[in-house]
C-alpha cells in the first residue's frame, strides 16, 4: 500500500523563492532576510530603484521640476516603505545594504526552514521601526535625490 501511496499520493509542493528585488530564483537555504526598515535605509537601493527602466521617466521628470514625476517617486517610496513582510534577497544584491550579513543569513535559514513563515523582530513597515527624523531623511533622499548621479547629462 505504501508503494501505491507513493505512486498516486499527493506530492507535497516544493517551497521555492525568488529574490524580491532582482527576481532571481534562490536555491533552498540561500539568500538573506531583511526587514523593510533595513531596506529603506539604503541609499544605493533607492538610487537603483529610481533609475530602473520602469521608473527612470519619473526620475527625469522630477529633476526637470515636473510635479507629476515627484509625486510618482513619492508613491514608489511609499509602496516599498510600507511592506510588512520580510524581504528575501539574493547574494547579488545584499551589498546594497549595510546590515549584519551573518544575522541576515541566519534569519534566511529560519525563513527557509519554516517555508517563508518566519519574521525577524522589527518586521513591518519602516515607519513602525525607524524614528520619525530618520524616516523623513530617508524619504527625502529617496524622493528628492535618488538617482540624480545616474541621469544622462
For the segment 102-141, what is each residue's pLDDT rounded down to a tens digit? 999 999 999 999 999 999 999 999 999 999 999 999 999 9
For residue 92, pLDDT over 90 is answered with yes
Please state, in angstroms and rounded to a whole number, the distance separating the CA atoms of residues 135 and 121: 18
Percent above pLDDT 70 for the chain? 92
- Are 17 and 87 spatial neighbours (Cβ–Cβ below 8 Å)? no
Cell numbers representing residue 90 in the block: 539574493
Structural domain boundaries in the chain: 15-150
The length of the chain, given as a count of residues: 153
**pLDDT(1) > 70:** no
Q: What is the pTM of this model?
A: 0.87
CA distances (Å), origin 53, targets 96, 105, 140: 19, 30, 22
91: nearest Cα among 48, 45, 17, 32? 32
d(CA 24, CA 118): 21
Mean pLDDT score, 40-54: 96
Mean pLDDT of 21-48: 96
- Quickly tell me which residue has 531623511 as its cell: 137
Amino acid at each position: 500500500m505504501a508503494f501505491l501511496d507513493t505512486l498516486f499520493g499527493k506530492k507535497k509542493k516544493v517551497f521555492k523563492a525568488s529574490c524580491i528585488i532582482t527576481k532571481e530564483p534562490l536555491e533552498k537555504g540561500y539568500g538573506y532576510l531583511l526587514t523593510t526598515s533595513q531596506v529603506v535605509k539604503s541609499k544605493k537601493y533607492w538610487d537603483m530603484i529610481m533609475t530602473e527602466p520602469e521608473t527612470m521617466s519619473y526620475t527625469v521628470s522630477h529633476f526637470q521640476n515636473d510635479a507629476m514625476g515627484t509625486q510618482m517617486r513619492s508613491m514608489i517610496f511609499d509602496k516599498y516603505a510600507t511592506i510588512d513582510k520580510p524581504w528575501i534577497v539574493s547574494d547579488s544584491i545584499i551589498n546594497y545594504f549595510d546590515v549584519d550579513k551573518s544575522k541576515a543569513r541566519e534569519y534566511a535559514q529560519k525563513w527557509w526552514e519554516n517555508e517563508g513563515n518566519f519574521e525577524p523582530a522589527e518586521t513591518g513597515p519602516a515607519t513602525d521601526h525607524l524614528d520619525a527624523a530618520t524616516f523623513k531623511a530617508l524619504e527625502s533622499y529617496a524622493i528628492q535625490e535618488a538617482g540624480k548621479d545616474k541621469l544622462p547629462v
